[in-house]
Structure 1
Amino acid sequence: MQLKTLLVDDELSAIEGLAIRLDAFAEIDIIGHATSVDEAIDIINREPPDLIFLDIEMPGKTGFDLIKQLQPERCPAIIFITAFHQHAVKAFEVRAIDYLLKPVKTERLSEALARVMENQKNPVQKHQMMEVRDELVQTEFPNKLAKAAPQYRLEQEKLVIQDGKNPVQLVPYNHIIWIDAAGDYMCVHTRDETYVMRARMKSLVKERLPDDFVRIHKSTIVNLNHIRQLEPLRNSEYFAILNNGKSLKVSRTYSRNLKARLMG
């Protein structure tokens, strides 16, 4: 079994060095590299990888900003690459998330890949990676990573996201394309930005978003106005293809209601 692998690091020399080391591993098929989060997302949308080697600190957007863009049910394996001090990465260890300290050593790389292969049937979940982010933020790196997940409230025409420290974010509902769950967090996706707020799916559903928002999966809500088409899968499941080209899984449980809403 080969793993389609994406390398993401803002330092091209680091990518080149890692690629040379990975050449010794038959299970790795490098499908591309990216020096920014936006570039990585473009590659992921074209060819979803099985594994991403992901730098955390990059100019503009961090590795965790990329994690926010990934769908929970289609999240690839992640090996973080970090220059953080050894004791800071305990946050990764306790959640069974693998990481490599810079400079990457071949022996440690081999261990990380073996761990990925062993865990293919039980991959690390998106919410675990967001918990790591919060722990790093709240301890040693408050100025290097995004601020901790904020609170929110639903108003008539917009979603208000606030954490008491940062400016209040006012997100009009018609700008929201979809929302997905990551444990105790929700990732709110617009065309230009992804916001993270501390909330659970059931509470967001209970508080009632506008009628245009429909649940399509246990972890996903979508704005009907942004669905371009449905692609049928087996067992009455679908992919909802959005206007921006993004595809979201529609589970059997919610497919009938979605079709009725789209055709009504």
Structure 2
Amino acid sequence: MKIATLVVDDEPIARHAVLRLLREDPDIALLGECGDGASAARAIREQSPDLVFLDIQMPAMTGLDVVETIGVSRMPATVFVTAYEQYAVRAFEANAVDYLVKPFGRGRFLETLRRAKTRLGAARVSAEGGEAIQQVLDALRRREGYLDRVPVRVDERVTFVDVDDIVWIKANRNVVEIHLADRVHEVRETMTSLAGRLDPRHFARVHRSAIINVRRVQSIHPWFNGHHVVTMDTGQKLRMSRYQQEAFMRLVSAKG
């Protein structure tokens, strides 16, 4: 009996990559594809797939919202497709939930598909699988308390800076300097404390005294002794420690 499968991803290239690999498997019966969470929820309800490849980061209605809309106990076997950094991957692994981290290769995809088939064959999806998905959902929701805005003092008043407008952050003794495209604000907070409240999918520590907004990176060039220079979209050049390079490059590649 073939496995009825649905693919959900708002990025057409990523969606078609999954579809192409699934078409090579004679055990898979493709039900279709969805480019947003709302249509995915409808398709899951109406078509009752056995297996769904579900992107987490989608606008308006995320993959996690789809799970909550359908209900964990009624979700089919699910492979989460994600660009989340390590903390989410640890949550998936701890609860034995199948996942793919973008960008993924053919070998990783086939291994994930093999595990999904094994679980379906063992008929344990609705009980153990549902409980595992709920635990992952809880873990990811707990990490959504990241800052959208940072309060800064301007003269005698407090104003707010959108985190998307931050280019980079510099540690300076007992304060941090928040560098925007056209100005700098000082905030009385330690670098470690502020880093813990910024979304690690978008901000990376490239040096002991520097955090950058990954979305504002223009280019990365090798320097010497294993170091690199990161050029921001404002033209600012920052040195990246060789100890931070691997994690940073993994984060940047996930955005691609």
TM-score calculated relative to the size of structure 1: 0.50
Q: CA separation in 2, counterparts of 1:143 and 1:63?
A: 19
Does residue 128 in structure 1 map to residue 132 in structure 2? yes
Provide the C-alpha distance between the structure 1 equivalents of 2:134 and 2:72, rounded to a whole number of angstroms. 11
TM superposition shift of 1:118:
1.3
Deviation string 1:195-242 (CA, Å, 9 cap, x unpaired) is xxxxxxxxxxxxxxxxxxxxxxxxxxxxxxxxxxxxxxxxxxxxxxxx
What is the alpha-carbon distance in structure 1 between the residues aligned to residue 73 and residue 83 of structure 2? 29
Structure-2 residue corresponding to 1:84: 84
- Give the number of the structure whose alpha-carbon radius of gyration is greater: 2
Alpha-carbon separation, structure 2, partners of 1:135 and 1:33: 27
CA spacing shift, 1:105–1:2, aligned 2, 3 Å: same
Deviation track 1:11-65 (CA, whole Å, cap 9, x = no partner) reads 1121111111222211111101111111112212221100000000110111111
Could you tell me which amino acid in structure 1 is paired with residue 124 of structure 2?
A: N
Preserved contact between residue 77 and residue 129 of structure 2 (Cα < 8 Å) = no
After TM superposition, where is structure 1 displaced by more than 6 Å over at least 4 residues in a row?
A: none
Spell out the pairing of 1:64-213 with structure 2 (5 A cutoff): 64-120=64-120, 121-123=123-125, 124-139=128-143, 141-143=144-146
Aligned partners of 2:3 and 2:29 also within 8 Å: yes
Say what the alpha-carbon RMSD is for the aligned residues. 2.0
Match for residue 43 of structure 2? Answer: 43
Q: 2:51 is aligned with what amino acid?
A: L
- Please state how far the C-alpha of 1:143 moved relative to its aligned partner: 4.1
What is the Cα deviation at residue 81 of structure 1? Answer: 0.2
SS in 2 for 1:26: coil
> How many angstroms does 1:138 deviate by?
2.8
Give the drift of 1:109.
Answer: 1.1
8 Å Cα contact 1:18-1:104 kept in structure 2: no
Q: Is the 8 A contact 1:6 1:52 kept in 2?
A: yes
How many residue pairs were aligned? 143
Q: Any unmatched runs of 5+ in structure 2?
A: 148-256
Distance 1:84 1:92, change over 3 A: same
1:4 is matched with which residue? 4
Query: 3-state DSSP class of the match of 1:7?
Result: strand
Summarize deviations over 1:71-117 as a string: whole Å, max 9, x none. 45542100000011235311011111010010121111111111112
* Corresponding position of 2:31: 31
Shift in CA distance, 29/85, structure 1 to aligned 2, threshold 3 Å:
same
CA distance in structure 1 between the partners assigned to 2:82 and 2:27 by the alignment: 23
Counterpart Cα distance in 2 of 1:50 and 1:21: 17
Cα gap change, 1:14/1:51 in structure 2, threshold over 3 Å: closer, same or farther? same
Q: Percent same amino acid at aligned positions?
A: 35
Q: Does the 8 Å contact 2:56/2:63 carry over to 1?
A: yes
Gaps of 5+ in 1: 145-264
Q: State the alpha-carbon separation in 1 of the partners of residues 78 and 9 from structure 2.
A: 13
What whole-Å deviation, never above 9, does each CA across 1:108-143 have from its counterpart, x for those lacking one? 11111111121121114334323212222334x434
- Contact kept? 2:8, 2:34, Cα under 8 Å: yes
| Paired residues of 1:56 and 1:80 also in contact (CA < 8 A) | yes
TM-score of the superposition, structure 2-length normalised?
Answer: 0.52
Deviation at 1:10, TM superposition (A): 0.8
3-state SS of paired residue (1:119): helix
Letter in 2 for 1:128: A
Once residues 130 and 74 of structure 1 are traced to their aligned partners in structure 2, the CA distance between those partners, rounded to angstroms, is 11
Determine helix, strand or coil for the equivalent of 1:125. Answer: helix
Structure 2 partner of 1:16: 16
